[in-house]
């Protein structure tokens, strides 16, 4: 049996309010780390198609904070958080949508080197309740994740990362 590794696998943990995301990339861990920490690159791929992303501030280091706004025909949606740890193969940060400021998630991204220029991204989003987790899942995040990662694939293929 083969699995499509160009689509993110998104799983809600049944026992704790965690969303687990797994996705393979034709990229090195260093390239994916840069795509997640360089604000200009991040703005080019994050989120669903049809949005423009403006980086309001971005300080990708331990204790640094970030905020970006996504602009659509329907309005603007802002997200913010802080970086807790950035290493060669791991990012830990908080993530909050300003529309639901009480639903803060703790995000951990782990970059697993598969060799031959391939990397498996493992992301874990821990929220404070199952209701909050289910709200994130119902928000359309699957579309945003898969559209965003497809844009990231294009940037990687064009050697822009």
CATH number at residue 106: 3.30.530.20
Report if residue 68 sits inside a domain: yes
Residue 3 lies inside a defined structural domain of this protein? no
Measured over the CA atoms of residue 149, residue 9, residue 123 and residue 159, the dihedral's sign is negative
Helix H or strand E encompassing 122: strand 118-126
pLDDT at 100: 80
Between 39 and 142, the more confident residue is: 39
Strands 65-72 and 52-58: antiparallel
Give the C-alpha separation, 48 to 12, whole Å: 20
Give the pLDDT band of residue 5 (cuts 50, 70, 90): low
**Do 82 and 94 form a contact (C-beta atoms < 8 A)?**
yes
CA pair distance 118, 24, nearest whole angstrom:
7
Percent of the chain with pLDDT over 70: 97
2 inside domain? no
Task: Determine the pLDDT at residue 103.
Answer: 81
With respect to residue 1, please indicate whether it lies within any of the assigned structural domains.
Answer: no
In a domain, 119, yes or no: yes
What is the model's pTM?
Answer: 0.92
Count of structural domains within the chain = 1
Q: Domain for residue 4, yes or no?
A: no
Q: Tell me the residue range of the domain where 109 lies.
A: 9-157
Residues 6+ apart with CB under 8 A from 36: 42, 91, 109
Question: Is 23 in contact with 147 (CB distance < 8 Å)?
Answer: no
- Helix or strand (DSSP H, E) at 67: strand 65-72
Q: Which one is predicted more confidently, 3 or 105?
A: 105
Residue 123 lies in a domain: yes
Q: Indicate if the pLDDT at residue 31 is higher than 80.
A: yes
- Look at residue 153 and tell me if it is in a domain: yes
Q: What is the DSSP letter of 8?
A: -
């Amino acid at each position: 049996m083969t699995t499509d590794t160009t689509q993110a696998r998104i799983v809600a943990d049944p026992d704790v309010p965690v969303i687990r995301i797994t996705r393979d990339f034709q990229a090195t861990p260093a390239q994916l780390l840069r795509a997640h920490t360089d604000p200009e690159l991040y703005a080019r791929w994050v989120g669903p198609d049809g949005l423009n992303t403006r980086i309001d501030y971005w300080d990708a280091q331990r204790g640094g904070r970030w905020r970006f706004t996504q602009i659509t025909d329907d309005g603007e949606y802002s997200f913010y958080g802080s970086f807790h740890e950035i290493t060669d193969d791991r990012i830990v940060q908080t993530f909050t949508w300003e529309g639901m400021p009480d639903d803060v998630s703790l995000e951990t991204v782990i970059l697993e080197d598969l060799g031959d220029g391939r990397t498996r991204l493992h992301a874990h989003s821990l929220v404070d309740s199952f209701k909050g987790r289910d709200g994130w899942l119902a928000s359309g995040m699957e579309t945003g994740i898969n559209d965003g990662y497809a844009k990231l694939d294009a940037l990687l293929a064009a050697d822009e990362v």
